[in-house]
Amino acid sequence: MLELKNISFEVSGEDDQKEIVRDISLTVENHKFVVITGPNGSGKSTLAKLIAGIERPTAGQILLDGIDITGKSITERAVLGIGYAFQQPVRFKGLEVIDLLRIASGRQLSVADACEYLSEVGLCARDYIKREVNASLSGGELKRIEIATVLARGSRLSVFDEPEAGIDLWSFQNLIQVFERMQKRNQEGSIVVISHQERILNIADEIVVVADGRIAEKGTKEEILPGLLGTSAAVNQCTGNEKHSRKESFLRQ
């Protein structure tokens, strides 16, 4: 279980301190799929980085299964079971995909096992297993390989920062299935996703709406999603591209 207690994060500006995250308290129970959403610039991605240990809070406390991890590094948190997928995956010149998967899993994965993880994210294993994780791969390919490393890691808490960014529609549809399989396979693990996408919001156990660095509201998808998309009656009056545009506009405002 992840617990955030009165977490704040501020950075130094030219003239003063700017508070990005403001006094956020949040609990992510075991075996829950939590989506954090809200307007651009609201502090969502910063919150994900605070959970992963990429940034350190300027106030508050972070607990994982009762252990205080507030001062622990991203490496120490990874050892404790926190996995993180960047919005823009990192490229590693000279490192092959199978090497990356083996590092993520912490064991000498067989080629067959590595191929299975790649297949789960929609990549043809024989085409990618020996590829270098470098500029020859597209952004979408890198994103899917990174998600495969999170699967290989088998984290107790997996954090995804806008996993839909830079991937095609087929890959996005497959991504939804990956999340669902992760939940079924790992009975104790939890998933936290930063996303605007309605289809990801629609499979959440809990939705957390962040605005101006604070939690504006949180609850089940049944409680929160209708308000994000407008009332059912209002949304049903729109059709086709108009409906899609209205929903995306609201979630990205």
Q: For the residues 245-253, what does the mean pLDDT come to?
A: 45
Q: Report CA dihedral (100, 103, 107, 108) to the nearest 10 degrees.
A: 40
Q: Which residues contact 246 (CB under 8 A, 6 or more apart)?
A: 229, 230, 235, 238
pLDDT digits (tens, 9 = 90+) for 204-232: 999 999 999 999 999 999 999 998 887 43
Q: Indicate whether 196 pLDDT > 60.
A: yes
Residue 130 is given by DSSP the state: T
Q: What's the confidence (pLDDT) of residue 170?
A: 66
Q: Which three-class secondary structure state does DSSP give residue 202?
A: coil
Q: Which three-class secondary structure state does DSSP give residue 58?
A: coil
Percent share of the chain, pLDDT over 70: 85
Q: Indicate whether 193 pLDDT > 60.
A: yes
Handedness of CA 183, 115, 147, 196 (dihedral sign): negative
- Between vectors from CA 100 to CA 99 and to CA 106, what angle results, nearest 5°? 90
Task: Determine the Cα–Cα distance for residues 133 and 98; give it in Å rounded to an integer.
Answer: 10
For the chain, how long is the longest CA-to-CA vector?
A: 56
User: How is residue 113 written in tokens?
Assistant: 């096992």
pLDDT digits (tens, 9 = 90+) for 52-72: 999 999 999 999 999 999 999
pLDDT digits (tens, 9 = 90+) for 61-105: 999 999 999 999 999 999 999 999 887 777 777 889 999 899 888
> pTM of the entire structure?
0.82
Task: Determine the Cα–Cα distance for residues 33 and 173; give it in Å rounded to an integer.
Answer: 17
Instruction: Determine the length of the chain.
Output: 253
Percent share of the chain, pLDDT over 90: 42
Domains of the chain: 2-252 (3.40.50.300)
Q: What's the confidence (pLDDT) of residue 189?
A: 80
Task: Determine the Cα–Cα distance for residues 6 and 214; give it in Å rounded to an integer.
Answer: 10
Alpha-carbon Rg for the chain, nearest whole angstrom, is 19
Task: Determine the Cα–Cα distance for residues 78 and 218; give it in Å rounded to an integer.
Answer: 27
Cβ–Cβ under 8 Å, residues 148 and 118: yes
